Amino acid sequence: MPQPNLLLGVNIDHVVTLRQARYRTLPDSPNAEPSALAAALAAEAAGAHSITVHLRADRRHIQDADVFLLRKHIGTKLNLEMGNTQEILDISLQVRPDFVCMVPENREEVTTEGGLDVAGQREALRSTVKALSDNGTRVSMFIDPDLDQVRASAEIGAAMVELHTGTFANHTGAERDAEVARLCAAAELGHSLGLQINAGHGLTTHNLTALWPVPHLAELNIGHHIVSRAVFIGLTAAVHEMLAVMASYSRA
Ligand code: PXP
């Protein structure tokens, strides 16, 4: 089958947010729903190319058991988002996800707020990248579209960067145009350094085409909008409508 122009990783964290809202204290209840695995399988059947989950230190949504279950049963790729802690690294080395995306993590944040400061913590990240890569996982750095962060990601041995599109998503007009220009420059530099260029955060069917000037995009990771749309139209249709918008991207 020909490889699509742009791949979609569906982040199912917020399916599990809903489950945890009711069943956090009753994880073994036969009524615990919605199922993370069922959501992942439905997203895959609808055309998702990978399943993304963030195993946070505070376990506010995805639980360890979810990650192991997904690893065992999904048919596409597993992308694990993680902060750089020994605890989560040990789990990741056991799970062997296809991809890991290293993210910053603060306990109080509602969601990942900014990119990872790769340039400021090269040695700590370099050893994590090596441990994961040696274990068969391709590693990405979730960074703001900042040229120093792109260079640092390449220098510590990451295979990919995921450009943080939160600022892009939260602005319109001239401010958004300026952010698109930063994203373009970061993508150009990353590509020239041999990095795969991914993007994610705050992307919706409404704002996505404004991102299309950014070259070299290989994969988008999208969660909140798809899960929100799924409440009204179902997960299958929500994945389909995102893929339909993504089909208009041209990488070069
Ligand atoms: N990529 C990364 C690294 C993230 O941390 C998140 C949020 O969990 C996403 C993508 C998805 O963002 P959203 O849920 O806004 O689509």
pLDDT tens per residue, the chain (252 residues)?
A: 455 789 999 999 999 999 999 999 998 999 999 999 999 999 999 999 999 999 999 999 999 999 999 999 999 999 999 999 999 999 999 999 999 999 998 766 666 678 999 999 999 999 999 999 999 999 999 999 999 999 999 999 999 999 999 999 999 999 999 999 999 999 999 999 999 999 999 999 999 999 999 999 999 999 999 999 999 999 999 999 999 999 999 977
Nearest CA to ligand 1 atom 7: 201
Residue 19 has phi, psi (to 5 degrees) of: -60, -45
- Is residue 205 one of the residues assigned to a domain? yes
Calculate the CA 204 to chain-centre distance. Answer: 14
Range of the domain at 115: 7-246
Model pTM score: 0.96
Name the catalytic one among 54, 61, 164, 191.
Answer: 54
- Is residue 1 one of the residues assigned to a domain? no
Name the catalytic one among 14, 44, 81, 179.
Answer: 81
CA of 11 to the centre of ligand 1 (A): 7
- Is residue 221 one of the residues assigned to a domain? yes
CATH number, domain at 22? Answer: 3.20.20.70
- Is residue 185 one of the residues assigned to a domain? yes
- Is residue 2 one of the residues assigned to a domain? no
| Atom of ligand 1 minimally distant from the CA of 142 | 3
Domain count, the chain: 1
CA of 223 to the centre of ligand 1 (A): 6
Please report where in the chains the tokens 């988008």 appear, as a residue: 220
Instruction: Compute the CA torsion angle 103, 110, 214, 187 (nearest 10 deg).
Output: -20
